[in-house]
Amino acid sequence: MNTQQIALITYKDAGKYTGVSEEENARLHEFLTQKGLPVTLEIWDDPAVDWSKYDLVLLKSPWDYFDKIELFYAWLSKLEELQVRVLNPLHTVRWNADKRYLVELQEKGEKVVPSVWLDQGTQLNVADVFAQLQSEKIIVKPAVSGGAKNTFALTQQQAEAQAESINTLLQQESFLAQPFIPEIQTKGEWSFLFFNGTYSHTVLKTAKAGDFRVQHFFGGTVHTPEPPAQLLEYAHNLVDKYAQGCLYARVDGVELNGALVLMELELIEPFLFMATSEGAIERYYEALVEQLQQPAQSIA
């Protein structure tokens, strides 16, 4: 029987999201404890938690980390100092927390939704951004974000009208501009789930009529079609390259001209859609057991 003390990470719900995440967390916690693993649900920023008593921290749902990013980074550093192992690995989490990684992948030649980086402290040059992206409509979102926080879909005229308010936000943090992809509304957004680099299941998320946000708390719906083989193959390729050592990975993308174009590589707190696929929770457990059986490695 495993004796490693495990913290399954969640967050303090402030009413921003629905209870779907909590349902998945509770089901996973129950499943893992029934399997004999000493797992405790913990809120990541609860000051009362003694993290030194844990051997392993599972980043399951720190959903509000982007609202408290400096506190989150400080917490990761504390876990590192305490030599508590974290899954996913800390260096991967730090890299994945800032959407600059998408620009990095773009520069490496990966098929990524084209991205223009907007540095904190700069001013939005609307004409320049639209010229670079060659799009009639763009998406502007924070470099550190989730749940469509401070995310705008704008025509050039709308962007000019909102430039002042966006520039105010730019003084506080960096942003990313991308072309609006109409296929997200017409075809939906694919999510491919992997545990320990092994493919588990797929969902296709669609936005409600008139919206571009596919998250369930904005009215999006989830479907489970068989994914086209070439899309799955590219998702797997991305996980092999950029999610080494990760307990879980979710590849979010859109199909353009028969190819998967990456929107997000989710390696910190993705909803795992385990209820949509028979055996998914068992596959998560088996992947975790594999990780627990591995010899101790650098926690970085």
User: Where among 154, 179, 204 does a domain terminate?
Assistant: 179
Residue 65 falls inside a structural domain = yes
Render pLDDT for 26-71 as a digit per residue (tens, 0 to 9): 999 999 999 999 999 999 999 999 999 999 999 999 999 998 999 9
CATH for 272: 3.30.470.20
pLDDT of residue 214: 45
Nearest alpha carbon to residue 227 among 251, 211, 247: 251
Amino acid identity for residue 285 in this structure = Y
Q: What kind and span of H or E run contains 102?
A: helix 100-107
Mean of per-residue pLDDT scores for the chain: 91
Residue 172 falls inside a structural domain = yes
The answer on 220 and 192 residing in a single domain is: yes
Distance CA 103, CA 115 (A): 6
CATH for 85: 3.40.50.20
pLDDT of residue 136: 94
pLDDT of residue 299: 45
The answer on 267 and 219 residing in a single domain is: yes
The answer on 87 and 17 residing in a single domain is: yes
* Domain region containing 125: 114-179
CATH for 175: 3.30.1490.20
The answer on 54 and 86 residing in a single domain is: yes
User: Where among 179, 212, 230 does a domain terminate?
Assistant: 179
Flag residues of the chain having pLDDT under 70. Answer: 1-2, 14-20, 147-148, 207-220, 295-300
pLDDT of residue 145: 81
The answer on 30 and 60 residing in a single domain is: yes
Cβ atoms of 259 and 112 within 8 Å: the answer is no
Distance CA 28, CA 149 (A): 27
pLDDT of residue 298: 44
Cβ atoms of 83 and 66 within 8 Å: the answer is no
pLDDT of residue 50: 98
User: Where among 179, 209, 224 does a domain terminate?
Assistant: 179
The answer on 118 and 155 residing in a single domain is: yes
pLDDT of residue 85: 97
Residue 228 falls inside a structural domain = yes
Q: What is the residue-wise DSSP string for 8-68? A: EEE----SSS-THHHHHHHHHHHHHHHTT--EEEEETT-TT--GGG-SEEE----TTGGGG
Residue 273 falls inside a structural domain = yes
The answer on 188 and 174 residing in a single domain is: no
Count: domains in the chain: 3
Distance CA 5, CA 51 (A): 10
The answer on 133 and 217 residing in a single domain is: no
β-partners of residue 40 are 7
Residue 46 falls inside a structural domain = yes
The answer on 198 and 142 residing in a single domain is: no
β-partners of residue 266 are 250
